[in-house]
Amino acid sequence: MFLRTRAARAVCLLAASALMASAACGAPVSQPVEGKDYRTLATPQPTNSPGKIEVLEFFSYGCPHCNEFYPLVTAWVAKLPRDVAFRREAVSFGHPLWVNLARTFYALQATGDLPKLDGALFHALHEEQLPLTDEQSLADWVGKQGGNADKFTAAYTSFGVNNHSVQADAMAEAYTVDGIPALVIDGRYLALGNTHEEMLANADKVIAMVHSKPKPAAAATAK
């Protein structure tokens, strides 16, 4: 799905940088084109960030594209306006290994070790090629990285983590997400792009579009 040539990446990176610089200077951002830059969800989904524009990323530690996307989206998130809230959901699409990695994300989130081990887990899986495939190997790795292996194991096997990982896959289906990484803006728009950089640039355009539009009125309560 994503282009791999250095030239294509360089062109898109320059375009994304120019777009962000333009937005920072207050210059108008070009309007996104539906079907090319974004897709409107048939059924808008509720967000977890009242009063803010929510950007939701669906990803998996096991996904090589998500590994490539991670440093780019991390830098992008650091520059988001204050009224934009970013959150992530780890999905599995039914892959057994990805189920374990989704549980790992929510377990690290529960123990507070996620900020320290988030990028490290991508690196361990894709650069070091470590066989982190089950609860024991993952817990051992967490302990070696300075995390709390006992707390991780307790969280990994908890009802809350299991429930969250199941709900994340259900959310991906509700959002009609069929590939990752994916960015959904305001519960209504899926950013498109042929490269990671293009998808982030299009997400910027959609955020600007949402800023310029009034929020849709809530449906009247039936009496």
Q: How many other CB atoms sit within 10 Å of the CB of residue 106?
A: 23
| Distance linking the first and last C-alpha atoms of the chain | 48
Burial of residue 80, with CB atoms counted within 10 A of its CB: 0-12 exposed, 13-18 middle, 19 or more buried: middle
Report the distance separating Cα 182 and Cα 200, nearest Å: 10
Q: Which domains does the chain have, with CATH numbers?
A: 13-212 (3.40.30.10)
Report the chain's C-alpha Rg in angstroms: 18
38-64 tens-digit pLDDT: 999 999 999 998 899 999 999 999 999
pLDDT in tens, the chain (223 residues): 343 333 333 333 334 444 444 444 444 557 899 999 999 999 999 999 889 999 999 999 999 999 999 999 999 999 999 999 999 999 999 999 999 999 999 999 999 999 999 999 999 999 999 999 999 999 999 999 999 999 999 999 999 999 999 999 999 999 999 999 999 999 999 999 999 999 999 999 999 999 987 665 543 333 3
Cα 140 from Cα 21, distance rounded (Å)? 43
Q: Are 117 and 65 in contact (CB under 8 A)?
A: no
Q: Widest CA span of the chain, in angstroms?
A: 60
pTM of the model: 0.82
**Of 172, 122, 181, 111, residue with least CA distance to 146:** 111
Sheet with 182-185, side-by-side order of all strands: 38-40, 189-191, 182-185, 53-59, 84-90
- Residue range 129-141, pLDDT digits in tens: 999 999 999 999 9
Instruction: Name the H helices within the chain.
Output: 6-24, 64-77, 96-111, 114-126, 135-144, 149-156, 159-174, 196-212
The DSSP secondary-structure symbol of 34 reads B
CA distance 87 to 186: 11
